[in-house]
Amino acid sequence: MNENPDSRSRYLALALASRKALRSLSDYVRQGTIDAQFESMVGEVVESLKATRDANNLFGPTPKESPFTNYEQVVTLDEVESDLKNQNIDIVEKLSKPLSLHVDEKSRRLDAADAIRFFYALENRALHHYSSQIGSREP
Amino acid sequence: MDGTADITNDAASLYRFVESIQTFCELQRGFPAYLEGSKVFLSLIEELSRSTRKYATDFPAGLPNNSDDYRVYRQELRTLRYGWYYVHRFVKPIADADTLHLPGPLINSMVRRLRSVKSFEESKLAILHIRELNYLQVIASGVRDAITQISSFVGSPASFPSDLGLIGIPYSQAKSVFLNSLIAHEIGHFVFEKRQLKDVLAPKIHAILNSTFAPVKDVVLKISDSRRIPTALADWSEELFCDLFAVRFIGPCYSYAFIEIFDLTNYLSLDGGLDKNAAALAVEFSYSHPAYLYRIQKQVEMLKSIDWWRHIRTSKSTCQKILENSESLGADYFSFPFGADLQKYFIECLNQVLTEISALIEDSLGGLDTGVAEYSRLSRTVKDYLLEGVVPSTIRDPDSGKRTAPETVTVLNSAYQLYLDDLPELIGRIEGQKATSVEHRARWTENLENWTLKALDDLTLMSAKTVV
């Protein structure tokens, strides 16, 4: 995966976007607020994951400015999705449902748990791929 | 373990790291001097550093007391650290690239030209020095996203200006004019990013791929390839956009510099034809870049479509021979990293994408004059001045007889053409100098570049929009 000089910045963009989502989820759990940027970001993730499954789409998502659409990012999304699937979590299904406006923090925490797990794992894996490239030798 | 103590140490580590970067951003009064864009960038990083250190100072106080929340909270520090690792790559190279170590007049001339385009009136460039002798693989667009996100996490008031572009040039090429024509490609990346052309092209690339490959979808497409192909095609498209943008923006001098930096004249045989064995790798696409000779072939098409070709086709230079030879290469000559059986489908996709790219370039430049007409009228005179060792800041128009200041495109291309075709004539006028001497050629090329740079500097001073 190292051939493209853009790879590093794409992994970092994925990690940063995941962190942004985690911040929004933290605000949701603590304050019950849901920001529009988070909803838009989740929509991009779902769209990207669905595109890779769509039998009528030969190629999966096409790269856009979104940090979930380039090859390195799509592969990383797939890796995390598979991990969660092994834990019986269908993340596309979970993310496709909007967060509910529960009044108590405990319910909100429960509602957001899988999304937090997903974005945490995504950030972690993207950072790992990014750091692997830092350690690689230059010619 | 005492989580607070450990995390304080981790936060302090980030604090120190960021502080060490900040020392390179502190602009001394007056010296060294920087381009406007570089100053903006360094000030931005200084502000970002301040906010990050404040963030790191406050970080331990927010430590959650349950393990799930802790690991999510803690990882933010790692993300920020890696974000700063990325920013780190750019700071010292920009601090090193002060105006004494840059071809300032050339950069200012290009910025001046860019600023004449609608929506780019306020454009600024920050220049960084890179170690590699290669302009074409500097990826600076990611830094905008990284800085923007870091700013939002640490609560920095600083934001990355939308009219600021980052461009890398090899640290050793401060005096070079001809090779630095490649900067136009990097300006293409800036334009591509600012106009968000990736989003514009995405639905077109999606439609083109699906329709072109539909007949073979179940036969030859591997899953691993099908994931990679959209990104590869999108990356090729951006590179082609930047190449063709550069040709449209400053003319054939970009193609000459492209040929020179990759030493593509190595692929010529003694009879001036293309040595196809030597050039075997130059027709291969990589995952991220189109093949060299494909890129040249498309530049020739652009040179023809904007009427440059007839002004350069009589050149006897090896650069011109590469242009001509690449033109005659058949589409089946190029290969792709996805298997030979898909070759014709990629060519078909690229043909369709190139139509879109050409339209986007024209749309981006909003009718900017190609400069061909003025070149046609004044290039002979500019060359005559240079052959006499006279800086062509103002010349006598051969038609009107009045004094006139030639535009950047005319000066650059006339000088480059002289370098390629008429350097022996220039050297022949100097006593004791021989065109057959490598040393003498190198010296007079440097002189020619200095005169060109001086002319561009004068033109910038004479213009209403001085950039530095």
Q: Residue B82 corresponds to which tokens in the numbers above?
A: 């890696």
DSSP-derived letter for residue B335 is B
Residue A41 within any structural domain of the chain: yes
Task: Characterise B318 by phi-psi region: left (phi > 0), alpha (psi -120 to 50), beta (else).
Answer: alpha
In this structure, are B167 and B225 located in the same domain?
Answer: no
Residue B328 within any structural domain of the chain: yes
Q: Is the model's pLDDT at A104 over the cut of 60?
A: yes
Per-residue pLDDT band for B167 (boundaries 50, 70, 90) equals confident
- Best CA proximity match to B468, nearest among B25, B99, B42: B99
Mean pLDDT of chain A: 89
Burial class (CB in 10 A: 0-12, 13-18, 19+), B24: middle
Task: Characterise B454 by phi-psi region: left (phi > 0), alpha (psi -120 to 50), beta (else).
Answer: alpha
DSSP-derived letter for residue B179 is G
In this structure, are B328 and B379 located in the same domain?
Answer: no
The answer for residues whose C-beta is within 8 angstroms of residue B288's C-beta and 6 or more apart is A3, A4, A5, A6, B232, B235, B239
Query: Which SS3 state, helix, strand or coil, does residue A2 take?
Result: coil
Residue B188 within any structural domain of the chain: no
Q: Please, are residues B324 and B255 in contact by the beta-carbon 8 Å criterion?
A: no
Query: Is the peptide bond prior to B32 cis by the omega test (within 30 degrees of 0)?
Result: yes
Shortest distance between the Cα of A16 and any Cα of chain B, in A, equals 7
Q: Residue B179 corresponds to which tokens in the numbers above?
A: 């090779």
In this structure, are B288 and B403 located in the same domain?
Answer: no
Domain boundary among B320, B348, B365: B365
Q: Is the model's pLDDT at B138 over the cut of 70?
A: no
pLDDT in tens, B95-112: 888 888 888 899 999 999
| Strand intervals (E) in B232-299 | none
Task: State residue B422 phi and psi, 5-degree precision.
Answer: -120, 15
Of A3, A60, A62, the CB nearest to B202: A62
CB atoms within 10 A of CB B383: 19
Q: Residue A92 corresponds to which tokens in the numbers above?
A: 């596309």
Q: Is the model's pLDDT at B320 over the cut of 90?
A: yes
In this structure, are B336 and B225 located in the same domain?
Answer: yes
Residue A126 within any structural domain of the chain: yes
What's the pLDDT at B140?
60
Cα–Cα distance for residue pair B231/B228, rounded to 1 Å = 6
- pTM listed for this prediction: 0.91
What's the pLDDT at B215?
83
- Find which of B63, B65, B69, B72 to mutate to test the A interface (most A CBs within 10 Å of its CB): B72
Residue B88 within any structural domain of the chain: yes
- Best CA proximity match to B37, nearest among B467, B398, B343: B467
**Amino acid at residue number A115:** A
DSSP-derived letter for residue B127 is E
The answer for residues whose C-beta is within 8 angstroms of residue B133's C-beta and 6 or more apart is B170, B172, B173, B261
What's the pLDDT at B96?
87
The answer to which of B184-188, B189-193, B214-218 has the lowest mean pLDDT is: B214-218
Per-residue pLDDT band for A1 (boundaries 50, 70, 90) equals very low
Q: Is the model's pLDDT at B28 over the cut of 90?
A: no
Which residues lie across from B156 on neighbouring strands? Answer: none
Residues of A within 8 A of B206 (CB-CB) are 59, 62
- Best CA proximity match to B20, nearest among B95, B131, B99, B126: B95
Q: Is the model's pLDDT at B136 over the cut of 80?
A: no
Q: Residue B126 corresponds to which tokens in the numbers above?
A: 């920050």
- Are B142 and A15 inside 8 Å of each other by CB? no
Residue B397 within any structural domain of the chain: yes
In this structure, are B349 and B380 located in the same domain?
Answer: no
In this structure, are B220 and B360 located in the same domain?
Answer: yes
What's the pLDDT at A7?
85
What's the pLDDT at A108?
95
Cα–Cα distance for residue pair B157/B343, rounded to 1 Å = 50
- Are A127 and B78 inside 8 Å of each other by CB? yes
Of A15, A52, A64, the CB nearest to B79: A15
- Find which of A20, A29, A58, A132 to mutate to test the B interface (most B CBs within 10 Å of its CB): A58
- Are A19 and B141 inside 8 Å of each other by CB? no
Burial class (CB in 10 A: 0-12, 13-18, 19+), B349: buried
How many beta-carbon contacts under 8 Å exist across A and B? Answer: 121
Query: Which SS3 state, helix, strand or coil, does residue B357 take?
Result: helix
Name the residue with tokens 């600023």. B115
Residue B76 within any structural domain of the chain: yes
pLDDT, average across residues B172-197: 91
- Are A20 and B79 inside 8 Å of each other by CB? no
Q: Is the model's pLDDT at B195 over the cut of 60?
A: yes
Of A16, A59, A70, the CB nearest to B146: A16
Residue A62 within any structural domain of the chain: yes
pLDDT in tens, A5-47: 678 889 999 999 999 999 999 999 999 999 999 999 999 999 9
- Are B209 and A59 inside 8 Å of each other by CB? yes
Residue B280 within any structural domain of the chain: yes
- Length of chain B measured in residues: 468
In this structure, are B356 and B429 located in the same domain?
Answer: no
Nearest residue of A to residue B74 by CA position? A120
In this structure, are B215 and B323 located in the same domain?
Answer: yes
Residue A1 within any structural domain of the chain: no
CA dihedral B163, B164, B165, B170 (to 10 degrees): 150
Nearest residue of A to residue B205 by CA position? A62
- Are B230 and A60 inside 8 Å of each other by CB? yes
Q: How many domains are there within chain B?
A: 3
Nearest residue of A to residue B192 by CA position? A65
Residue B217 within any structural domain of the chain: yes
Q: How far is CA A135 from CA A73, A125, A130, A131, B77, in A?
A: 20, 15, 9, 6, 19
Q: State how far Cα B135 lies from the chain centre.
A: 6
Nearest residue of B to residue A22 by CA position? B72
Task: State residue B126 phi and psi, 5-degree precision.
Answer: -100, 130
Cα–Cα distance for residue pair B393/B43, rounded to 1 Å = 35
The answer to which of B140-149, B293-302, B381-390, B440-449 has the lowest mean pLDDT is: B140-149
Domain boundary among B313, B336, B365: B365
> What are the respective helix, strand and coil percentages of chain B, to the nearest 5?
65, 5, 30
What's the pLDDT at B468?
44
Mean pLDDT of chain B: 91
- Find which of A4, A62, A74 to mutate to test the B interface (most B CBs within 10 Å of its CB): A62
What's the pLDDT at B315?
95
Residues of B within 8 A of A57 (CB-CB) are 210
Of B86, B210, B228, the CB nearest to A9: B86
Cα–Cα distance for residue pair B102/B111, rounded to 1 Å = 14
Range of the domain at B415: 372-462
Per-residue pLDDT band for B151 (boundaries 50, 70, 90) equals very high
Please indicate whether residue B460 or residue B357 has the higher confidence score (pLDDT).
Answer: B357
In this structure, are B222 and B158 located in the same domain?
Answer: no
Range of the domain at A127: 7-135
In this structure, are B136 and B79 located in the same domain?
Answer: yes
Residue B468 within any structural domain of the chain: no
Which residues lie across from B7 on neighbouring strands? Answer: none
Domain boundary among B365, B381, B396: B365
Query: Which SS3 state, helix, strand or coil, does residue B129 take?
Result: strand
Q: Please, are residues B86 and A127 in contact by the beta-carbon 8 Å criterion?
A: no
- Best CA proximity match to B134, nearest among B172, B177, B80, B191: B172
Which element (helix H / strand E) includes B169?
A: strand B164-170
- Best CA proximity match to B236, nearest among B135, B365, B337: B337
Per-residue pLDDT band for B139 (boundaries 50, 70, 90) equals low
Residues of A within 8 A of B196 (CB-CB) are 65
Q: How many domains are there within chain A?
A: 1
In this structure, are B225 and B158 located in the same domain?
Answer: no
The answer for residues whose C-beta is within 8 angstroms of residue B359's C-beta and 6 or more apart is none
What's the pLDDT at B270?
93
What's the pLDDT at B22?
87
CB atoms within 10 A of CB B119: 12
- Length of chain A measured in residues: 139
Q: How far is CA B154 from CA A20, B53, B79, B151, B366, in A?
A: 12, 9, 12, 5, 39
pLDDT in tens, B243-273: 999 999 999 999 999 999 999 999 999 999 9
Q: Please, are residues A123 and B79 in contact by the beta-carbon 8 Å criterion?
A: yes
In this structure, are B332 and B380 located in the same domain?
Answer: no
